[in-house]
């Protein structure tokens, strides 16, 4: 059973049909929407500030979401995929974005709708990632724009796949 823990008077809240892997950790001021999945060894640590997830967000294996005390919050939109071992620290991720495996998105960064952060990229504090763009590298830089329909199709497909996969793990 996942570790779901209250801290500082805040208890995590989950929408309908969410899946938490047995060793996922969700702590404190965390509110997630419907159909979210938090995978193995993922950590959402809302101990020092708030974490908000929209609907159909998947936080894949080993990913971490955290914030800065009294300085930043993490806000994740709908249909967002956060890849394996990624770190989101006090950033805002808009609808339909994809955060690649091992990517790091730091405080006060904003990842626009449908944007793709490449695997291993480091998005520095305060960076504004344009909607529908690909950013890659260390530090992450603009690579190119992607066709909005193609981006939406790819990113929503991944989010939908993780909702589908989560059904395999839910106790019946």
Tens of pLDDT, residues 4-22: 999 999 999 999 999 999 9
- pLDDT recorded at residue 156: 85
Please compute the mean of the pLDDT values over residues 119-132 and round it to a whole number: 97
Residue 114 has pLDDT above 90, yes or no: yes
- pLDDT recorded at residue 147: 86
Mean pLDDT over all residues of the chain?
96
- pLDDT recorded at residue 43: 98
CA distance linking residue 56 with residue 102, whole number of Å: 20
Residue 128 has pLDDT above 90, yes or no: yes
CA atoms within 13 A on the CB side of 58: 24
The tens digit of pLDDT for each residue in 44-78 reads 999 999 999 999 999 999 999 999 999 999 999 99
Look at the domain 3-169 and name its fold.
UDP N-Acetylglucosamine Acyltransferase; domain 1 (2.160.10)
- pLDDT recorded at residue 13: 98
Q: What's the whole-model pTM score?
A: 0.96
Residue 1: pLDDT band by 50, 70, 90 thresholds?
Answer: confident
- pLDDT recorded at residue 172: 58
How do the domains of the chain map onto residue ranges? 3-169
- pLDDT recorded at residue 137: 98
Q: Please name the residues in contact with 49: beta carbons below 8 A apart, sequence gap of 6 or more.
A: 29, 67, 68, 69, 70, 71, 72, 73, 74, 90
Instruction: From 107, 118, 79, 112, select the one nearest 93 (Cα to Cα).
Output: 112
């Amino acid at each position: 059973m996942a570790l779901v823990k209250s801290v500082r008077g805040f208890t995590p809240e989950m929408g309908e049909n969410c899946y938490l892997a047995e060793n996922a950790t969700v702590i404190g001021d965390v509110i997630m929407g419907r159909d979210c999945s938090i995978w193995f060894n993922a950590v959402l640590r809302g101990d020092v500030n708030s974490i908000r997830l929209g609907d159909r967000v998947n936080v894949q294996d080993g990913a971490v979401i955290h914030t800065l005390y009294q300085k930043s919050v993490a806000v994740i939109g709908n249909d967002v995929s956060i890849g394996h071992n990624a770190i989101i620290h006090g950033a805002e991720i808009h609808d339909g974005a994809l955060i690649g495996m091992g990517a790091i998105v730091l405080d006060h960064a904003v990842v626009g709708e449908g944007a793709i952060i490449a695997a291993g990229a480091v998005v520095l504090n305060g960076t504004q990632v344009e909607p529908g763009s690909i950013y890659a590298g260390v530090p992450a830089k603009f690579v190119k724009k992607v066709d909005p329909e193609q981006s939406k199709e790819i990113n929503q497909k991944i989010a939908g796949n993780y909702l589908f996969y989560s059904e395999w793990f839910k106790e019946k």
